[in-house]
Structure 1
């Protein structure tokens, strides 16, 4: 027994020495430092993977879901006609930064945001200069081409009600005019009279336009260029009609915008269409198309302020104070024997039809299957290309695919019969167009179902 106790004494001694060493203040400090480093390591991993990584992963998952469920056509590859007027990524970043700077600004209150008022005024002045407006020229900024056109129609309705006492206003426009004129007619109770175009030039028939003008006509209109075929109407002849009857003439340059004013300087064929034409009293120009401004942005211009004042909405007895508001708060085809260009387009829009033996809508469906987004037209059946900066880079490929599509249909006419041909063929065969309109309205209803 005594011998075993004697043997344990050295062990106890070393245990005591060990505890003494382990509890030495410097070693305790070292242990605490190591503990903190280990804690920091695992806290960092926890923070990165759970507290930060979780939301980041959720953000990436949301982004991937949006990309998956909110797909769009290949507009970056230049395969979409019109629609996207993209001036490059650098410009997009600039637009985003400008929007961030002025996101809270309210142009309705120029006394609070005088800088916004100045920017709008300068934008209007620049576009007036582009369109050779006289010194009396004036205008306002709107939310887009539709609003610019609607405002012009409202202006002439109110002006000639005041100046001529016209209570049942009418406007006479080409059948190819933008649908915004139809919208304005519905909004403001203006009778819309449409005039056919020349079957060769696709410009509005001036003789029939003249015959359609009555004592109730408050305005006529023309395009430079129109949406369907990219054709410019004879604005000079329309100006003569407007002067003869003392009525307004609106020129829709929403699509021609920043292309038409520069054709002459660039050495391309053009015609007179701006304020140099006597009789032109207003012009609309979209700055968010070939001007590359952010959507939506457009300018409505008038020859003189005494016309523009009828655009304004004024209320002097509103309980919220005196209310005044200026507006509403909205490459050529190579020789392909089976196809032909509609008219003689001079701007950024080209439309083309086909021989009677080929359905042009089948050509469109073939192009769609090759990744192109082309607009179908009717009366007459045709396809429409609105050339953008992105489109120019893919023009050669488009011509190749267009030829290949036509060749496919020549080799096998039955390979057509796609969806577009069915839709427009059926629509053309229905005499009661209200049925087609009901179907279109139902389609819009479906668009707003989440």
Structure 2
């Protein structure tokens, strides 16, 4: 099934889904229905509210500036207390993804690198040329890792890029670039992009922000992009195709070669989203694991995104967006020549940016080196395979696809609710990723999980969680009911309402 959405107008092939959504919105306007819905929302939010404001009872809440500045040491002590309350969970490997290295020596090193450059700003390259050196070298090192030398010769194969604030910005930048390239080079004014429905949500955001029609194609039975389906979804206004290496939900690499060949034939862009795998897959391939072609060595791949702040082990807040040519990248740049404030130009969406993050990223890549990344990848993939085999051995669960280190699993037993298993794992201190379509859960293995005993603890706890859920069906709380709702067509409007309420709660005191 292909669903198509646009900023100004939504068009969904599944008309039944649209009808139910419309009816739900009308029903909310009926007073007694609205009151019933509000009561149900309140029940669901009650469990979640405590997660958003866990310190409300024990620490003061500041709604206005203190009359006199507080003692700096007292402020730092309060912050250390928060850190102490939160750090053990990720340090002990209870979290999927989120913190990818976490070793005290490494994080201390990054802190020092950031501190040296805490006052720098890449926007002012004339004041801080050291930061522009770091960023140019980050891009070059990442490009080299992702097949730049095998891309071919000539200016059309001169792989280049920029440093962004994270994977979402890298994806947004690439999609904005394709929109502007297609308008300038092909005269396309009603652009669309074709993606597998497992592509990152940042592509949905890009479509809405930049008024690009989004054509989502349901993945095949193997949870990988359906190339034939994506081909059918293309037309003369298609500006790019998208594939993931791997996709966030199931940890599987899309058929990038086939998608790139299709893109090349149609003379459109092809973006490989390697935000999650860009700093793992090249090393896994070198270690002998079966990694399908996905980078600039594949003719037709015209851009990529790779997160340095994930498996690149940099501090949070950096990513790299790459292009096959400088001519394509030029459509990313932003310049203003007639502003009274002077000539203005910036490479990404932000103006001022924290140079300390780029410095820490460069420092991390320098400190890791090839051997460091190879060793880290070896440990991560070995642990991922151990966890995968362990999940396969648990009665009632099934692993989706053939993942290397991002392991997604679903219920293989009628009546066993995977979201209640997720909730039971949460009560055992685990923070895992709940997914849907199909309902499943995943663990993104990091260096935290390679510590002795962590994989075994995860599997033991998961086995107990499955047994508990089987013996106590319907007991799920917290996010479990919301994930359950999200998997049903009539509840999509309700889920959106709840998520908006959650975001409200994040900023409400």
TM-score by length of 2: 0.74
For 2:283, the equivalent position in structure 1 comes to 262
**Residue of 344, 349, 358 corresponding to 2:416:** 358
2-structure distance, mates of 1:309, 1:215: 23
Distance 2:275 2:448 in 1: 19
Aligned equivalent of 2:394: 336
Q: Distance in 2 between matches of 1:328 and 1:395?
A: 40
Instruction: Supply the distance in 2 between the matched residues of 1:129 and 1:117 (Cα, whole angstroms).
Output: 18
Is the 8 Å Cα contact of residues 73 and 373 (structure 1) preserved in structure 2? no
CA distance in structure 2 between the partners assigned to 1:138 and 1:308 by the alignment: 8
Residue of 463, 467, 492 corresponding to 1:403: 463
* Alignment length (residue pairs): 393
TM-score, normalised with respect to structure 1? 0.83
| Higher RCO (CA < 8 A, seq sep 6+) | 2
Alpha-carbon distance in 1 for matches of 2:400, 2:258: 21
Unaligned runs of 5+ in 2: 1-69, 354-383
Mind listing any 5+ residue stretches in structure 1 that lack a counterpart?
Answer: 1-53
Distance 1:67 1:109, change over 3 A: closer
CA distance, structure 1, for counterparts of residue 327 and residue 75 of structure 2: 54
After superposition, the C-alpha distances for 1:381-403 in whole angstroms (9 at most, x for unaligned) are: 00010111002221111011111
| 1:413 to partner: Cα distance | 3.8
Alpha-carbon spacing, 1:313–1:336, altered in 2? closer, same or farther (3 Å):
same
Question: 1:444 maps to what in 2?
Answer: 503
State the Cα distance separating 1:427 from its structure 2 match.
Answer: 3.2
| Aligned ranges 1:402-441 → 2 under 5 Å | 402-410=462-470, 412-414=471-473, 416-429=475-488, 431=490, 433-441=492-500
- Out of 122, 143, 147, the residue aligned to residue 107 of structure 1 is 122
Q: CA deviation at 1:431?
A: 1.7
Among 164, 170, 174, the residue aligned to 2:192: 170
Q: Which residue of 1 aligns with 2:428?
A: 370
- For residues 65-76 of structure 1, the aligned pairs below 5 Å read 66=82, 71=86, 74-76=89-91
Of the three residues 235, 252, 260, the one matched with 1:231 is 252
1:119 alignment counterpart: 134
From 141, 160, 179, the equivalent of 2:182 is 160
2: CA distance, partners of 1:127 / 1:143: 15
CA spacing shift, 1:320–1:58, aligned 2, 3 Å: closer
SS in 2 for 1:119: helix
The corresponding residue for 1:197 is 219
Task: Work out whether 1:240 is the aligned partner of 2:279.
Answer: no
Distance 1:343 1:435 in 2: 31
Change in Cα spacing, 1:260 to 1:110, as seen in structure 2 (3 Å) is: same
Give the drift of 1:237: 0.4
Paired residues of 1:361 and 1:382 also in contact (CA < 8 A): yes
Question: Does the 8 Å CA contact 1:408/1:415 hold for their aligned counterparts?
Answer: no
- Classify 1:270/1:98 alpha carbon distance in 2 versus 1 (closer, same or farther; 3 Å): same
Q: 1:240 to 1:93 in 2, by over 3 A?
A: same
Comparing 303-312 and 397-406, the one that deviates more: 397-406
The structural deviation recorded for 1:415 is 6.8
> Do the aligned residues in 2 keep the contact of 1:73 with 1:80 (CA within 8 Å)?
no
The 8 Å contact of residues 255 and 289 in structure 1, kept in 2 or not, is answered as yes
Bigger CA drift: 90-99 or 275-284?
Answer: 90-99
In 2, Cα distance between the equivalents of 1:150 and 1:251? 13
82-91 or 290-299: bigger deviation: 82-91
Q: Which residue of 2 aligns with 1:10?
A: none
SS of structure 2 residue aligned to 1:318: coil
How much does 1:66 deviate?
Answer: 3.6
Counterpart-to-counterpart distance in 2, 1:324 and 1:207: 41
**The structure with more radius of gyration:** 1
Q: What SS is found at the alignment partner of 1:353?
A: strand
- 2:321 is aligned, of 284, 300, 303, to 300
| Structure 1 residues 418 and 303: CA distance shift in structure 2, 3 A | same
Look up the match of 1:325.
346
User: Which residue does the alignment assign to 2:446?
Assistant: 388
* C-alpha distance in structure 1 between counterparts of 2:109 and 2:308, whole Å: 16
| 1:416 positional shift | 3.6
The SS at the match of 2:91 is coil
Residue aligned with 1:231, SS: coil
Q: Distance in 2 between matches of 1:100 and 1:278?
A: 41
2:485 alignment partner, SS class:
helix
Structure 2 CA distance, aligned partners of 1:430 and 1:415? Answer: 20
More divergent stretch after superposition (373-382 vs 334-343) = 334-343
